[in-house]
Chains A and B, each alone.
Chain A
């Protein structure tokens, strides 16, 4: 680990100006991801800006949305009454992630910005475009069992890694915006615009500008409660990243699907919202047959590498399973 300077701002604006001072500085929240990256020589910020003392922990309901502070702990969010009753999908997704101990440290902001778990990214002796632009993608011709099957159209991506977060898959399915503070004050980013696809600059995971600090997320109220499910497929029962995950949410009316949300994890460089399928579901009575039909759609646009072809079928099956549970049919 490289020596670094440790800073502890008292206000959001102080934090932002500290970050602007040095483009290589990094915020640290729970540290559950960043410290690992530092230990393995992947991140070596000369300055660590510890934001844990900023007042960004609150979870509250305002008008038509839940607002969750960026420093709220994953475990607190998952257990919060507002979240459990109004956004159970989010609570479910959070509890599917990591372990109890890690969720007790991990924050919402850190979870949004956690980096990929691609093994090549984690080993400085191996090529990786995300870690070292231009060095090549180790996974492309290497071990890619856990890698992406959805890309930006037909373009050749320079990184085939997946975004590892569970929380983000639920947020992608819901109407979420991310509130950030920057040199020019506050701005809101629609969740779908926060993470990037990997065509050209895989080192950039998000659209955040230098120095920007996430202060909260906002999730709009909805009518999905009782008809949502987060399904995570993994190599062991807990404490493993998703091979594939599905956040499914339905709004039912008169035996028909009025509105549908479907987001996938473990399949793309960002949480993958499946708009096309959502449209296909609307207005239809739920059935296994329908879900199977729409899942077939997925097979057409997916593209696998040497070891992850199984994900295409797995994703379809996981969508069917999650939608069935969300719709309450067995």
Chain B
């Protein structure tokens, strides 16, 4: 198959442009900047879930060796962007991001209540253990099931009529009762944490009274810059945020979290640069999580397998002070053709910290339920689950009644099924045994909405003809720099080695944060147009040269074929062209620059835009011990043109790995008597290890979607995980006949 983003059939992928730095330790992560005079802050966190602080005994900590300050709400420097404290003090109203060291209220267990700053990290940790906090405790509610009756329509949705989270219906809401075959089931996913291997960390430096630099692990330097400028009432440009290398994030770095503000406060208080690194246990209550979510699905079809009605209700947990909304039930409206669909989304506020987006937010949760339910209904229909999906294939968007900008899901199904050998699946569960193991096959579909935001990029060519491209985008792991390098190299007709891409600094041209699988669609487009602009400039200069008879050939170029191998070519067949370096030299230019912005246009209103995909999974289940091992995965995606196969493939593999974790292991367990998590290290919060990961085959349809952006590329990051948990659960059912509707699928549930 022709690779779309390749110059020819033989074109190979780029390896990660920063791979060497990363594996050799040369890459500098947020906590690793050697800032002179650096001191260390450590957070003291609450061990009650609700109440207020009555006293903080910090003398022992203050006098411990090396300690510079103990900071709490009693003495924290004011954050000028926050409102003055009300008297008498009141709990924050819904919609207030948590303000660290602001008042005495406790909103969740693990909340920062004090912070010790000391000359070394060890001394700060030791002194933090010496701070004694006493509380007036109040009864907390953290148990989802026990409180689910108090779930309601989010205030946010009540206020906004056009919110996508409004109750939705098409057709007849009662139609489910008439369906010839129907199933009804409840699905639960527990709280799961991102837990990237690199913990969140920040170094905060006040360069002057009104100038702040932070080296901070986050997913958006520009949004962090804006939020910090607002909090500390500084001109935007006086705040610089640096985040060049990130050891994974999965959504945990989208917001500016309390620990970041705390470090900036500490630096202000002690007048020294301050480093703050979250402990692994603190990561469970500091940077969000995938919320505990309960879903109920009722779906029905005619005997011949045509969907007749779907009712999808979802309830997610949130904190008492903020509403975190997820797309949990939204996929059900668009995934399949079905005349009667209704969805309902509710929120349950609990005494916990606010959840946040985690890879495939809402969709990974919702598609676990929908794709399990589809499998259940297929089984009730005695129909092959893939055939059932094909029967209900949505040729146009059934929710918006718009054509898809492009959709090759059918090709994905076909490719995946072939490569996987789906035809060997038995409909009857537990019918294949191999070496004493129960063998099961499962599949699921995947979709994720297309997102594109305005982005800028700057391309600068230097005298030697090499190019630096810049944008304030991020790389939390997908290989952004590599993909952007490839786009630039392709547009400019340059060897990728001559292109350097810079990201992760707020002084670079504006770009959105890395989330919603929007980086390639948004920033990639900006890089594309900036490089196109640079190319036009080069060609124009080359034309001038040729007019003056200096180009060595006739350069008359009007179309995009004008550059190759670092040279501008004319139309003549034996034209040798003129090198970029010579063009700059002739025009006495040290550099040639182009900055462009790229924005989405009216296409959103004309088309419905999604990435699509599917996953095929084989599991082996030990009938005696209930242990599930995934032994084979085939994953296929339709995300438009693939920019760089090698890094794309890694993205897909990473998504499957995350999905296997979601399905089989990840579970943040809380002891509700205390409202406190008890799985706060990697020995108890299980994520997959290498031994859990089987060979994963990745395939792409690789057809450009001409409506979305100049490259024809859609997002891949989220779609890689969406649906995987459902495919695993379906395979477990096929292997054992047991339908596990509450994740994770651990041996105790199968035995």
- Which A residues fall within an 8 A CB radius of B? 1-3, 40-41, 99, 117, 119-120, 122-123, 125-126, 138, 141-143, 145, 231, 233-241, 243, 307-308, 310-311, 313-314, 317-318, 320-321, 330
Contact = CB atoms under 8 A, between A and B. Distances in A.
B673 A239 contact: no
Given A126-B674, A318-B624, A321-B624, 9 more contacts: A119-B684, A123-B678, A126-B678, A236-B686, A237-B689, A238-B691, A310-B749, A313-B751, A317-B624
A320 B684 contact: no
B675 to A, nearest CB: 11
Contacts of A231: 625
A235 B746 CA distance: 6
Contacts of B681: 122
B665 A143 contact: no
A314 B671 contact: no
A310 B688 contact: no
Interface stretch (B122-130, B161-169, B640-648): B122-130
B414 to A, nearest CB: 32
23 contacts: A41-B129, A99-B689, A119-B679, A123-B281, A125-B47, A126-B674, A141-B673, A142-B673, A145-B748, A233-B626, A234-B627, A235-B746, A236-B689, A236-B692, A237-B692, A240-B683, A243-B747, A307-B748, A310-B749, A310-B751, A314-B751, A318-B625, A321-B622
Nearest to A138: B671
A126 B49 CA distance: 13
A46 B624 CA distance: 47
Nearest to A244: B625
B684 A310 contact: no
B673 A238 contact: no
B680 interface: yes
B690 interface: yes
Contacts of A3: 65, 126
A243 B674 CA distance: 25
Contacts of B684: 117, 119
Nearest to A145: B748
A99 B682 CA distance: 13
B688 A236 contact: yes
Contacts of B528: none
B458 interface: no
Contact of A233 (B47, B627, B678): B627
A308 B665 CA distance: 17
Interface of B: 47, 65, 122, 125-126, 129, 281, 436, 622, 624-627, 629, 664-665, 669, 671, 673-674, 676, 678-681, 683-684, 686, 688-692, 746-749, 751
Contacts of B126: 1-3
B615 to A, nearest CB: 20
* Closest A-B pairs by Cβ, 9 of them: A237-B691, A125-B47, A310-B748, A238-B691, A119-B678, A317-B624, A233-B625, A142-B671, A321-B624
Contacts of A122: 680-681
State the main secondary structure of chain B at its contact with A. Answer: loop
Contacts of B691: 236-239
Nearest to B681: A122
Contacts of B625: 231, 233, 314, 317-318, 321
A146 to B, nearest CB: 8
Contacts of A40: 281
Contacts of B688: 236
Nearest to A117: B683
A3 B126 CA distance: 8
A143 B676 contact: no
B621 to A, nearest CB: 13
A143 B626 contact: no
B671 A1 contact: no
A40 B681 CA distance: 11
B124 to A, nearest CB: 11
Given A235-B747, A317-B624, A318-B624, A126 B689 contact: no
Contact of A330 (B281, B436, B622, B689): B436
A265 to B, nearest CB: 14
Nearest to A146: B684
A240 B665 CA distance: 11
B748 A236 contact: no
Nearest to A330: B436
Contacts of A123: 281, 676, 678, 680
B285 to A, nearest CB: 12
A99 B690 CA distance: 11
A197 to B, nearest CB: 24
Contact of A126 (B125, B624, B671): B671
A320 B748 CA distance: 17
A117 B682 CA distance: 12
Contacts of A126: 671, 674, 676, 678
B65 to A, nearest CB: 8
A321 B624 CA distance: 7
A236 B678 contact: no
Contacts of B683: 117, 240-241
A236 B684 CA distance: 11
A312 B626 CA distance: 13
Nearest to B45: A125
Contacts of A313: 751
A128 B26 CA distance: 43
Contacts of B129: 2, 41
Nearest to A237: B691
A235 B624 contact: no
Contacts of B690: 238
A317 B751 CA distance: 9
Given A145-B748, A313-B751, A314-B626, A235 B665 contact: yes
Contact of A125 (B627, B676, B692): B676
Given A237-B691, A314-B748, A320 B679 contact: no
A143 B678 contact: yes
B280 to A, nearest CB: 10
Contacts of A120: 678
A65 B590 CA distance: 80
A231 B624 CA distance: 12
A310 B747 contact: yes
A302 to B, nearest CB: 14
A99 B691 CA distance: 11
B297 to A, nearest CB: 27
Contacts of B436: 330
A103 to B, nearest CB: 14
Nearest to B110: A125
A138 B690 CA distance: 33
Contacts of B122: 1
B499 to A, nearest CB: 38
Given A119-B684, A237-B692, A240-B686, A142 B624 contact: no
Nearest to A2: B126
Nearest to A119: B678
Contacts of B673: 141-142
A327 to B, nearest CB: 15
A320 B622 CA distance: 13
Contacts of A311: 748
Contacts of A138: 671
Contact of B689 (A119, A239, A318): A239
Contacts of A308: 748
B671 A238 contact: no
A330 B434 CA distance: 12
A1 B125 CA distance: 6
A70 to B, nearest CB: 24
B747 A237 contact: no
B197 to A, nearest CB: 14
A239 B683 CA distance: 8
A235 B686 contact: yes
Greatest chain B CB density within 10 A among A1, A138, A239 is at A239
A145 B669 CA distance: 11
A122 to B, nearest CB: 7
Contact of A236 (B47, B125, B664): B664
Contacts of B689: 99, 236-239
